[in-house]
Structure 1
Amino acid sequence: MTSRETPPSSPDAGDTPERPGEDLASLLERLLAQSPGRSQKDLAREAGISYQTLNAWMNRTRGTSRISPERLRAMVEVFRRWGVRTTPKEFFEAVGRPVPGPGRDEREARLLKLYRQLPEARQRALIKDAEAMLQVSRIS
């Protein structure tokens, strides 16, 4: 297993069949088809996304490369509440990105505490370093 793969015991592990090359529009169409009585409007409302934005993703008239991890995870949670088996991995792969690690409050609080202790020039440098790491992770 590579460092980017999710261990099988993880709740984010892929327990649904993978569909290589499935983009976000195809994924959403498939999952909505498994959600009888649910619509794009329902998904948009429950995931906190505007209907116009979701509809543009589904019609492939708006790019999906900049969708925030929070929005992708929100859609996963909506489908799970509706009883549809899906994973964050499916969503991130559908937009061509690796699944980021979970945001743990304790780690985030520790990072923020360290950041606040740095002089302003070092804070700016840390932000630039973090942005560079993010860009590298999107490429690899």
Structure 2
Amino acid sequence: MTSHQHRPAEDLAALLTRLLDQVPDRTQKDLAIEAGVRYPTLNAWMNRTRGTTRIETQTLWALIDALRRWGVEVQPNDVFEAAGRPVPGRAGEEREQRLLKLYRQLPEERQRDLVKDAEAMLRISRVS
């Protein structure tokens, strides 16, 4: 399968099982320790006895990072989708989108004020 093809949807249990199969010398317990997750919690996700939609973003990133340290090729989008979570954008993009959304909600006069404030902050940051 090429990287351009999209896999059929997997839940987190199926995805983690498939990824752990790529490192036969590693176990669920190893993954839990490496990612800083309690083993009973990871095991419950793997056995589908505990939902995954409330897993914190940093926990999903910790799982991704642990697997990558073991040489497993894993895409963050796949992990977040499998957990039933929105796929996060880059932090900078998220901030820009939030700022733009807020800006568009302001009356025109306040938009001008915000631009002036941003320009002043930029000038100050260049001096410091």
Q: Displacement, 1:18?
A: 3.6
Give RMSD over aligned pairs. 2.1
Structure 2 unaligned runs (5+)?
100-128
Equivalent residue for 1:94? 82
In structure 2, the residue matched to 1:74 is 62
Q: Distance in 2 between matches of 1:93 and 1:59?
A: 18
Partner of 2:53: 65
TM-score of the two chains, using structure 2 as the length reference: 0.66
| 1:17 Cα offset (Å) | 5.5
Instruction: Describe the SS at the equivalent of 2:81.
Output: helix
Higher relative contact order (CA 8 A, sep 6+): 1
User: Equivalent of 1:53, from 16, 41, 54?
Assistant: 41
Rounded to whole Å, the distance in 2 between the matches of 1:35 and 1:103 is 30
**1:32, 1:39 within 8 Å by CA — same for their partners in 2?**
yes
Unaligned runs of 5+ in 1: 1-14, 112-140
Q: After the TM superposition, which parts of structure 1 deviate over 6 Å for at least 4 consecutive aligned residues?
A: none
TM-score when normalising by structure 1: 0.60
Output one character per residue of 1:44-87: Cα deviation in whole Å (capped at 9) or x when no partner.
00101000000000000000010011111111111111001001
Would you say the 8 A contact 1:16–1:85 is kept in 2?
no
SS at match of 1:41: helix
1:20 aligns with 2:12: no
Cα separation, 2, equivalents of 1:50 and 1:16? 34
Amino acid at match of 1:57: W
More helix by share: 2
Equivalent-residue separation in structure 2 for 1:16 and 1:41 (angstroms): 32
Identity %: 61
In 2: Cα distance, 1:44 partner to 1:50 partner: 6
Aligned residues of 1:24 and 1:58 also touching (Cα < 8 A): yes
Give the structure with higher Rg (CA).
2
User: CA offset at residue 98 of structure 1?
Assistant: 2.4
